[in-house]
């Protein structure tokens, strides 16, 4: 895999949709709408500098036609459907998931989930026990999400995953959320880590890479205690530590593995990364960034050698494109 991509500055945007020689991407993420029924305090989509005007909209037919073009031009195999809140446009999703072999829908879980088949994973957001979650996401949100999960029929085909964003505020109470979810209809859960915007100094953001070491330790221990239920990749968690974190973010694998698609006006645009235009790369702790680094060759391997050769789906995808 060629890792000689430039490190993009916080003010740099790139248009990857109409370049003369399109790059292949195994996955893309799409904000299907900039509208949301919540106002989460830590949401990167609504950070300053990102395309996020709720009035911006592309009609279903036009958007699906553009996704077909993107799929063929960039060899996209998997789609991550996001927002805003994507379930606001569930009719679009019902048609859109048929375009890709693998689909993930990230949702706040307050709108009923639809059964779009087995080749789909719902990633539902909960960010701590009820009091901490609702401080971030709004009063009553935790209870509403638990009601949504309880209402799922026994024959619901999609995989159900909970994702918790780890912050400086909730890092000491992650085990409470795990305990509350073990006996629900959830198949498993994963922890992402808050990626702040440039200059952000909030009660949610880690001050630097070393500041989150304790939170990484807690997730690793929860994974040990709840085998099979915590889906974080162990190597990805170790790569988030100080000796290797900057090697990953300076050579960010998602610049090659995920094509970010945001809606601006009546067209799709490509911010500099999945987390938008103003994400702080030096404090990045995005799940997808480190999960992909764990599966691909990179300079981080010299510091933290992999236990076995990289031969997963991402490696196979790039081998096929280069073959």
**Structural domains in the chain, sorted by start:** 27-322 (3.20.20.70)
User: In the structure encoding, which two tokens stand for residue 285, read together?
Assistant: 């702790």
Does residue 10 have a pLDDT over 60?
Answer: no
pLDDT of residue 272: 84
- Partner residues linked to 230 by β-bridges: 189
DSSP 173-227: GHHHHHHHHTTSS--EEEEEE--PBTT---SSS-SSTGGGHHHHHHHHHHHHHTT
The string of pLDDT tens digits covering residues 74-91 is: 999 999 999 999 999 999
Confidence of residue 15 (pLDDT cuts 50, 70, 90): confident
pLDDT of residue 49: 72
pLDDT of residue 275: 86
Does residue 178 contact residue 189 with C-beta atoms inside 8 Å?
yes
Nearest to 194 by CA among 183, 180, 204, 184: 204
The stretch 233-257 carries a mean pLDDT of 95
Does residue 12 have a pLDDT over 50?
Answer: no
Does residue 54 contact residue 105 with C-beta atoms inside 8 Å?
no
Nearest to 194 by CA among 229, 174, 166: 166
Beta carbons within 10 angstroms of residue 116's beta carbon: 19
């Amino acid at each position: 895999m060629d890792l000689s991509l430039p490190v993009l500055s916080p003010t740099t945007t790139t248009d990857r949709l109409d370049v003369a020689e399109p790059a292949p991407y195994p996955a893309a993420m799409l904000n299907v709408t900039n509208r949301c029924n919540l106002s989460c305090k830590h949401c990167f989509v609504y950070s300053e500098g990102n395309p996020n005007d709720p009035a911006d909209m592309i009609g279903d037919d036009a958007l699906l036609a553009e996704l077909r073009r993107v799929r063929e031009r960039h060899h996209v195999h998997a789609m991550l459907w996001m927002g805003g809140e994507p379930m606001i446009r569930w009719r679009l999703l019902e048609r859109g998931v048929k375009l890709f072999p693998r689909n993930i829908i990230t949702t706040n879980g307050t709108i009923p989930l639809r059964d779009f088949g087995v080749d789909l994973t719902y990633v539902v957001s909960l960010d701590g026990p009820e009091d901490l979650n609702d401080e971030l996401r709004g009063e009553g949100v935790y209870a509403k999400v638990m009601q949504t999960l309880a209402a799922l029929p026994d024959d619901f085909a999609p995989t159900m995953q909970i994702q918790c964003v780890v912050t400086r505020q909730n890092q000491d109470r992650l085990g409470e959320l795990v305990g509350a979810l073990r006996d629900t209809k959830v198949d498993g859960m994963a922890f992402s880590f808050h990626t702040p915007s440039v200059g952000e100094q909030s009660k949610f953001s880690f001050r630097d890479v070393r500041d989150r070491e304790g939170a990484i330790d807690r997730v690793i221990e929860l994974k040990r205690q709840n085998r099979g239920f915590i889906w974080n990749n162990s190597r990805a968690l170790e790569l988030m530590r100080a000796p290797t974190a900057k090697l990953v973010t300076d050579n960010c694998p998602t610049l090659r593995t995920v094509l970010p698609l945001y809606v601006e006006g009546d067209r799709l645009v490509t911010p500099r990364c999945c987390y938008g235009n103003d994400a702080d790369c030096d404090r990045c702790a995005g799940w997808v960034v480190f999960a992909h680094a764990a599966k691909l060759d990179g300079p981080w391997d010299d510091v933290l050698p992999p236990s076995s050769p990289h031969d997963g789906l991402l490696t196979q995808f790039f081998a096929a494109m280069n073959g």
